[in-house]
Structure 1
Amino acid sequence: MNSVPSDPFIGRTLDERYLVRSRIARGGMAMVYLGNDLRLQRRVAIKVMHQHLVEDENFTRRFEREARSAAMLGHANVVGVFDQGADGGVPYLVMEYLPGITLRELLKQQRRLTVDQTLEIGEAVLSGLAAAHAAGLVHRDVKPENVLLADDGRIKIGDFGLARAVSANTTTGQALLGTIAYLSPELVTRGIADERSDVYAFGIMTFEMLTGRQPFRGEQAMQIAYQHAHSDVPAPSSLAPETPPELDEFVRWCAERDPSLRPLDAAQALEALRAIRNGGGPGDTRILPRTGAIGTTTPSTTVLSGAEQGALQASTAPSAERPSSAPATAVDRARRAGARRARRGGWLAAALVVLIALAGGVGWWWGQGPGSQVTVPDVAGEELDAATLTLEELSLTVETDKCSSLEVEKGRAVGTEPAAGSRVDRESTVTLCRSTGPAKLDVPTLNGLPLEEAQRAIEEARFRVGEVVEERFDGGERGTVILALGSNGKGLGETYSEQGRIDLIVSAGSVPDVAGQTVEAATESLEAVGLSVDADANVEEHHGEVPEGSVIAMVDPGRELRVGDGVGVRISLGPELFEIPDVAELPLQEAIDTLEQAGFSPSSGVLETFRDFARATGTEPAAGERVPAGTEVVVRARVSLDF
């Protein structure tokens, strides 16, 4: 299996100071790595912009703005930014490293949080936002993914990539930014954001912490945006009954559709939240009727008597509204102050807001909404879930398909169709290709082919030519393929992975016959075909036909020979000689029997009729001489009738 392409930043030292160790997370705009500051000897988080976004000046400016925005805060509840730079033209930020999890991960683990958890996290987030607002910055991307919960208990808000300085009409510029589930109505309809937009996003996030779900959901981003602009956020207690009334009221106050009815900024919201957490929160939890739609002013909100309130609620408020009989609270007073500010514009302002909202809605649809276009990111080599999330964050619909790949590990993303870098409409479908590893291809017949022809067949079948790992003396035609092997050293089946390496075993032909050659000539013959004659493996033996000093044959190795093997030869000592025994004075027949038993061929001139009357007197050759077995030995004898 081929490995995933290595991350070009892992192991790199940025600006000779920051050593990149491993990946921590991936976002829509950047990859975050764990690294070491070699100068200060501390661990840091290094945020590197995605390569496909580097050419986009808008993203580059946002990335650089994050460094300036976060660096100027220096607050205990804001992730610190230490440094900023670029490596190979790719911008990066060096940030405070906080081992732990995000609020989103905590919500996945617990589904929803307790009231105490919500209050603790909410107070920390508002503290960080209050510092940003005091510095004249709007975060514009408040969501659980950007709230970091460190292992040591610290809670910080990060990712100021969308932050901008507040002006009289802070807008998104050419594009609407942020996550749609947390965008305020004014951002959706007019592209305008100020501190109250962050407060709205915080209210939505608090609702999610208490209930485990977002208040507005839909299959398409436009559906969610429409609900932000035209629907009120319900009370969290409608889904989480344990939510106290004062926290219900606080969430709905923060998430008012009309920004003039919300807290002025995070500092005002923080003051109210702390009062709730410390037990000094509002005792009255009623919610006044909401008659003003988005972009319109709200009628007078003067304090009504109990009877008037009851009549008004009976005629206008939903049945789920809470009864109201207690005196006005701090939240109510803040709401009424906002309503008084809203009335100043009158109906003319309302008409203008409606027109602006319509124009803003059209502009948003074609500028950044479902009608706009986005750049398809490069997700090759990523885990399939991570690649899917990256595409879905750009409002793209993802379908998966299978395809083979030589470079990408099985199960990971190979690429997309349309390809990375393409511009496509939001909500359009992008096919994400899941790697099945290298393709399985049919293996051609290689056995019996000449080596060069077999190598061509391997390449034409889209495999890799390996090595000739062995030349074997099999008696076949020299240079032809005997066997093809896979990367595991075993024979191939019917199919094999594309570009898989194929090694070959080829024939070395036959071992030459060296019988009757001198040792020197036999050595030359064997070495000419790739064998090595080892003198220590040579043996000497008698042979009746091969002259002394000549080679009888090669020593049988007891195995199939391969080129490079060492062998020995059998060298003849000539025929073996035996000593002729002394048979003189033995009865002739006994002498003949003795010589036969010694391996010789005895003969005598005495007729068999007289052998019983004869004695041996000697032999020719004479006794004691050494001659080959089977040599004829003539027995001399004398005949005596005295026997």
Structure 2
Amino acid sequence: MSAVNRDQFIGKTLDGRYHVRARIARGGMGMVYLADDLRLGRRVAVKAMHAHLVDDDSFLRRFEKEAQAAARLNDQNVVNVFDQGLDGDVPYLVMEYVPGITLRELLKQQKRLTAAQAIEISEAVLSGLSAAHQAGFIHRDVKPENVFLADDGRIKIGDFGLARAANNNTTTGQALLGTIAYLSPELVTRGVGDTRTDVYAFGIMLYEMLTGVQPFRGEQAVQVAYMHAHQDVPKPSLISREASPELDELVRWTTARDPEKRPRDATIVLARMRELLDGGLHAPTRVLPSDGPGSTRKLDLNATAATTVLGATAVTSVAPAAVAAAAVQEPTPAAPAGSKKQTPKKKATKPRDDEGRLQPVAQSPIERAQALQRKRSKRGAIVAAIALIITVAAGAISWYTFQGPGALKTVPQVLGLEPEQASNAVTAAGLIPELADCTNPTVAPGLISDASPAPDTRVPADTTVKLCQSIGPASLPVPTLVGLSSAEAEKLITEAGFTFDGITSEVFDGGVADTVLAAFDADGNPLGAEYREQGPITLVLSAGPVPNVSGLSATEAKNVALSAKLNFDESLNSEASSEDIESGRVIALAGAETLRVGDSVGLIISTGPELFAVPDVTGLRMNEAIKRLEEAGFKPLTGVPQALRNAVHVKDTKPAAGEKVRAGSEVELGFEL
């Protein structure tokens, strides 16, 4: 959606109820507007999805999930979602309007917070996250921008645009979502997270509230990600007097690199913080006291200050006045009782120099001239010193303003903006924008994905800031994966710039177990020569040869099948004759032609060799009987010479007619004339 179309959103009445008044914020997935609920007569916030994301099913699902996630939460510290709808093909959410500022804006104003402020905000954030975790959701984007400080003192967490159902292996899919400064090590290294991911982000945010800075900073996002994965978060007390040992412990506990060493969810952290408060940790005071509707508030920058210490300049300016007051108020000795009132005698006034010290009286014109010369010399020295100080100060101010830190400009935050907006922001900061196309797997095409120097960096005026406009993920060559072990393939996938998305199946193909047989893309199609950067890749592995159960008992064969991760289904059992396997023993597994791990199988049980009935040849001439038995697969035996066989008839057989024997068995023929 272009800037013009977004502006045209203002003034619309959505669903005949929500009249849009003004645009108040921009989010990763949509624009936020102030609106009037004409039905209930209240102010609301309307979040409309960016039009260029409407055609992306994954963004639509995430947008809908935000409504579902927040609507299911009923906590005073979570921004409420009232309604959702469509304006044409653009979905929107109707949310609670929270007039005030974000925690990010508070940090910009105060640089760092007092311990009391940090504790109060932390308790509210943890309460909201605890409600989300207990409802089965993780937020996935905990950061100061998503913590809202209302004018009436309420503290709420919002923007559940990245929320999803929580489990022990929640994955981010193709890309790491959220802000890199708050991403947990497991999200950086493996792309998976759970409720402990939110706990880590909270710990980083608590560190930032106490110190005014993030624990890990770098020129590029990948540098910050690397530090999250390989460095421990330092104690905030190393750079902040506001951090007590208890707060140090809380930060280190919630930001442990190993998620197993972190609290399981926000409910546990909230309980620990309340224990600390009960134990005497700085009692919180209100961050934004209520002054009545419509009031304009200023933050109390000395929320915990108890004593003001005057610097040397203040002491110097007060001291002379105090001394003078003491001199004026020096008491006169009282007269003894009954004595006459005496008029005090005037004391001789002695001359003093410029600093109030007594000066000897000159005894001659020469001495008086010398004294006057000394006074003039001192005045000249003072004037010269003052002039020197003024000159040095002017030079210092000039250097600071035109050459030193005062001449530096701050690179503005431009990530996620459209190119025109980013260029305007850079120009307004006194810098020169330079636009270039860059591939990026996580930032939507058409938005700024990177800036060099990085945002918030201090640089000289007129420095060129290179702005990278995302053109989507790069197309990378696909390495050969077939024939590798699963571990080798997973490592190669990651090194080649793709995302390993798991094993789809393991096939009993007779090959070497754990060997890659095939690799597929996100749509389930075989990989070609190239694939998009960080695209998910799934593998099919060999499970080795089909388990051999020939000759085993039924119980033994069942145990072999189960140990090979096959499911046993007795209804698939069948029987078959076998020349080699004795009756009651297993011939083979019964199941699909191509077996995979997890398939159901039964047993083919032997009934022994196949038996055939001996034909009835009684009364036939010997030659005819022999021919019929041979055709039936038997071996006829007779003592009648060949020349006489047409002259005799068969009297009986052994085995008898109708008796079942193996094919190829010998049959003796009795005869009569």
In the superposition, the TM-score normalised over structure 1's length comes to: 0.46
In the superposition, the TM-score normalised over structure 2's length comes to: 0.44
